[in-house]
Structure 1
Amino acid sequence: MTRMIFVNLPVRNLAASRDFYIALGGTVNPQFSDEQSNCLLLSEAIGVMLLTHERYGQFTSRPIGDARRETQTLLAINVDSRADVDSTVDRAASAGGRADPNPLQDHGFMYSRSIEDPDGYVWEVFWMDPAVASGEKPAG
């Protein structure tokens, strides 16, 4: 069995967050979605669980923080090309996200931009030269 990771996020507006994550490249898994939660698969091994504050509170007694004011994590997802970085950020921004809350990074062999979801969670969308990812040194 492939190991999976599920990022569980408390959200204020389930429908708006679902639309954002679909634009980010996710597909809804109806098996784990209902009126208080949506499961969006970003790949065969990566899922994002969007949970209303009420549902999220069933899993922890800690208060829910405000991701717009404090940072707790920085999430990153790769795409196939530099152009895909830009188109993914543009699609997600059109679906209620805020493009580039952090500076764009261009190191030649790696290119990334960030997108903030409707609740303030920041995702880095990045491309890395496949040769570098496999352990080869970047050209130049």
Structure 2
Amino acid sequence: MATSVFINLPVSDLARSKDFYTSFGWTLNPNFSNDDAGAIVISDTIYVMILTHSHWAQFTDKPVADATATSAVINAISVEESAEIDSLVDQAVAAGAIEGKAQDLGFMRSRSFADPDGHSWEIMWMDPIAQTGDWEAVQAKYGEQQPV
């Protein structure tokens, strides 16, 4: 069985968050969604559970952080083609996201955004050559950029 990743996010307006996350192609799984939660499917193994604050409180005694004012995590998702970054981030921004920092090292590129509740996302692509760790081949293709 493949390992799955479930990213759980507290949201202030569940309907708005469902609309936001489905606006750029991620899907809502109605079997695991109700008035307190939405199950957003990113891939066969990656899911985002958006939870009302009251439902979130069932899982932790800690208060909900204001993600618009603090940063604790950046949720990074890879794409297969560099152009997919622009498509997804542009659609997220059109749906109400706030665009964040971008990075382009040639062999690796990313753009980021914050969702309506301030949760940080980074959409990134890395050249398959770089994924092998063969930095000589990366430098031959891209120049003297260094891995981060």
Bin for the TM-score computed over the shorter chain: over 0.9
Match of 1:12 in 2: 12
The answer as to 2:40 corresponding to 1:40 is: yes
1:22-101 equivalences in 2 (<5 Å): 22-99=22-99, 101=100
| 1:8–1:49 CA contact under 8 A, matched in 2 | yes
C-alpha deviation, 1:55, in angstroms:
0.7
Q: What TM-score, normalized by structure 2, do the two folds share?
A: 0.87
- What secondary structure is seen at the aligned counterpart in 1 of 2:16? helix
RMSD: 1.3
Structure 1 outlier segments of 4+, above 6 Å = none
AA aligned to 1:75 is N
Flag the structure with more relative contact order, 1 or 2, with Cα contacts below 8 A and sequence separation at least 6. 1
Distance 1:24 1:78 in 2: 15
Once the two structures are superposed, residues 98-130 of structure 1 have per-residue CA deviations (whole angstroms, 9 ceiling, x without a partner) of 12x2x2100000110101100000101111112
SS at 2:15's partner residue?
helix
Aligned to 1:112: 110
Structure 2: distance between partners of 1:118 and 1:45: 24
Q: What secondary structure is seen at the aligned counterpart in 2 of 1:104?
A: strand
Look up the match of 1:127.
125
Deviations 1:79-106, CA, capped at 9 Å, x for gaps:
122211111100011112112x2x2100
Question: Residue deviations 1:22-66, cap 9 Å, x none?
Answer: 234421111111111000111111110000011111111111110
Q: Structure 2: which 5+ runs fail to align? A: 144-148
Deviation at 1:136, TM superposition (A): 3.2
Return the alpha-carbon distance in structure 1 between the equivalents of residues 18 and 94 of structure 2. Answer: 13
Q: Is the 8 A contact 1:68 1:120 kept in 2?
A: yes
Q: Is the 8 A contact 1:110 1:127 kept in 2?
A: yes
Computing the radius of gyration over CA atoms, which structure comes out larger, 1 or 2? Answer: 2
CA distance in structure 2 between the partners assigned to 1:16 and 1:131 by the alignment: 39
Secondary structure in 2 matching 1:3: coil
Between the aligned residues of both structures, percent identity stands at 45
Three-state SS of the structure 2 residue aligned to 1:10 is: strand
Q: How many residues align?
A: 138
